[in-house]
Amino acid sequence: MFMTELEERVRAEVGNIFDSETGQTFEEMHLIQSVRETSLGNITVEFMPTSPFYPIAFKLAADIREVAKTVLGVERVVVYCRGHAMGEQINEMTNK
């Protein structure tokens, strides 16, 4: 699948986030499901925690959002958590 340059840079940056629970990066854990540039400078990141009850999923979502916002060219970031028991609440809190 073709990725824009901005999508590639965001994916690389969020992939480098370190998960304190496992001692691995998000890339090593395969947490990032997709990174899409929905319009110029607007990025959507989908991730799936390793468990539906992963205790720090709220923090993961916030970390993804904050790191993605630091990438040059990113204007807005939306993060979606998939496969977590509190996914709806995580998405609401992260994207308000």
Q: Please report, for the chain, the start and end positions of each structural domain, with discontinuous segments joined by +.
A: 5-94
Over residues 27-65, the pLDDT tens digits come to 999 999 999 999 999 999 999 999 999 999 999 999 999
* Cα gap 95→14, rounded to integer Å: 17
Confidence of residue 1 (pLDDT cuts 50, 70, 90): low
* Cα gap 86→66, rounded to integer Å: 20
Tell me, what's the pLDDT at 20? 85
Confidence of residue 24 (pLDDT cuts 50, 70, 90): very high
Tell me, what's the pLDDT at 2? 84
CB under 8 Å to 31, separation ≥6 — which residues? Answer: 19, 47, 48, 49, 50, 60
CA-to-CA dists, residue 29 to 5, 34, 60, angstroms: 23, 14, 12
- State both tokens at 17: 């986030």
- Burial of 47 by CB count in 10 Å (0-12 exposed, 13-18 middle, 19+ buried)? buried
Statement: 5-94 belongs to CATH 3.30.1640.10: no
